[in-house]
Amino acid sequence: MLKFLLRWEFTCFLSGILLALSFSPTDLFYAPFVALALLFKALDQANWKQALFRGGFFGFGFFGVAVSWVFVSIYFYGHAHIVLAVLLTLIFCLFWSLSIVLFATLSVSLTVPGSYSRIFIMPVIWCLVEYFRGQFIFNGFPWLQIAYSQFETPFSGFIPVIGAYGVGFLMAICSSLIVIVSTYKKGFFLFPILILLVSYSANYLKHTIWTFPDGKPLTVTLLQGNVSQDNKWDPSYKDKTLDWYKSKTEQHWDSDLIIWPETAIPAFQHEIYADFLTPLSDDAKRHDTALIVSLPIKNNEKGEYYNAALTLGQGQGDYKKIHLLPFGEYLPLQPLSGYLLDSLNIMPIGSFTPGSDQQPLMRAKGYPFILTICYEAVFGEQTPARLKDARFLVNVTNDGWFGHSLEPYQHMQMARMRALESGRYLLRVTNTGLTAIVGPKGQMHYQAPLFEPAELTGKIIPMAGVTPITMIGDKAIVFIIALFIPFWVSVVNYRKKSSIK
């Protein structure tokens, strides 16, 4: 037993758990540096078979803790049998662990063991695998990139400049230098110089103002209904839900903008348009208030369903969700996945259609803004293309599926990144929490508690201007990082030729 405990596989498993603890709500910001250093060290002398297992153990430790909230969703709200819920959660965690396995096997396959050049190239491969996971697998799963753990550190100053992938790359470089210094006794002078350079640059960038006010302050009210997920779509609760939101809205007609969370209206738009939405919009106009509500929309002609939001009163436009949630709003791998879920008889899966990526910006009180729905808040590339004209950000979501788990805290942490990247205020409105007003530096101004009805009122300032990362884009940053691979190959080949001579 002791021999197993000392093996690198077990060390990698614990390192993966440590990495998971770097995110909210535990926020151990130093953990990614230690966890990645241990993983890099474990792979330094490994062959591809050892790398496969060590990467797998690390990935399972990481995802097994970090996305354990999947069990809460399947068991408590999907009402699956506990054995089935555990099994599906394990499959989910093991599947995403394959991304770490991919990183580990690529790292050892492209390099020779026992050379610090292997450690040197690992940060590049880590970044590329994070990008691959975040963009291409099942519509992308950019959940918990390591940069999200650095809000309270100097690294946050780099976010508006090089984004989450660039910061993750810098963090991985620091971890690789720890291994190079401790193992190969090289870089003793480079390591402190790098720390000083990063600290000075980050401190300077953290106080750099990239955007500027462009309009008068707006008073905003965010409504958190705390409607139980079990009751949300129960027809007998529909009137009670609508009455709560309507009455609370009427108490805040002095606000410039009032926002309801994702699918706060448990009915299709056409079902309540005349009797509920039209009178509500007329009231908002009379009080000079813009109102953002969220509800499903059905296109009867095409037979399509959309997860959507629209503005009422002193606002214009609607938005249909683009990035749909796999196995929540649509089923990938059809027809196999549909057949399996039907036969297992667990939670119903939506059959939503994604909206166009060319939708015009919505407007409220004359100001254009970018709206995202739920899971879309974790996709950094969805904001830059439209940021030039937008004056603030809105995210409406429903984390009620995940109970008192890690998910609401993680989701809030990732949503804050969009505010920091763009230099805009973010209004995040949720059904059960965490509803919050986030400043242009990613700072929390106001936050409602979890699982309590709440009315959150505060002020924001419309902002203009763009940050460097929104001009450059994540794709460009990742492409530049990828160029290190041919550079590294050239250096290694040159050294081989020199040694032969």
Query: Which candidate in 232, 321, 365, 441 is catalytic?
Result: 321
374 among known catalytic residues: yes
pLDDT of residue 150: 93
Q: What is the DSSP letter of 330?
A: B
Verify cis geometry, omega within 30 degrees of 0, for the bond prior to 25. yes
Under the banding of pLDDT at 50, 70 and 90, the label for residue 488 is confident
Q: What is the pLDDT of residues 12-63, one digit of tens each?
A: 999 999 999 999 999 999 999 999 999 999 999 999 899 999 999 999 999 9
Query: Which candidate in 262, 329, 376, 421 is catalytic?
Result: 262
Q: What is the DSSP letter of 316?
A: E
Burial (CB count <10 Å: 0-12, 13-18, 19+), residue 286: exposed
Burial 59-84 (b: 16+ CB within 10 A, else e): bbbbbbbbbbbbbbbbbbbbebeeee
**Does position 309 have pLDDT exceeding 60, yes or no?**
yes
Give the pTM.
Answer: 0.91
The domain ranges of the chain are 2-209+474-500, 212-466
Under the banding of pLDDT at 50, 70 and 90, the label for residue 347 is very low
What mean pLDDT is reported for the chain?
88
9 among known catalytic residues: no
Cα-to-chain-centroid distance, residue 198: 25
User: Helix (H) and strand (E) counts for the chain?
Assistant: 18, 15
CA distance 420 to 453: 28
pLDDT of residue 202: 79
**Does position 498 have pLDDT exceeding 70, yes or no?**
no
* CA dihedral sign of residues 334, 335, 336, 337: positive
496 among known catalytic residues: no
What percent of the chain clears pLDDT 70, i.e. is strictly above it?
89
Fold of 212-466: Nitrilase/N-carbamoyl-D-aminoacid amidohydrolase (3.60.110)
Residue 80 · residue 92 · CB < 8 Å: no
Closest CA to 175 of 30, 63, 62: 30
Cα-to-chain-centroid distance, residue 326: 15
Pairing of β 426-430 and β 463-464: unpaired
Under the banding of pLDDT at 50, 70 and 90, the label for residue 314 is very high
Residue 144 · residue 66 · CB < 8 Å: yes
pLDDT of residue 306: 93
Residue listed under structure tokens 């007329």: 282
pLDDT of residue 346: 46
Q: Give me the amino acid identity at 176.
A: S
pLDDT of residue 484: 86
pLDDT of residue 111: 78
**Does position 336 have pLDDT exceeding 50, yes or no?**
no
Segment holding 396, helix H or strand E: strand 393-397
Residue 84 · residue 351 · CB < 8 Å: no
pLDDT of residue 501: 52
Q: What is the pLDDT of residues 150-174, one digit of tens each?
A: 998 889 999 999 999 999 999 999 9
CA distance 307 to 262: 8
Query: Which candidate in 12, 127, 174, 374 is catalytic?
Result: 374
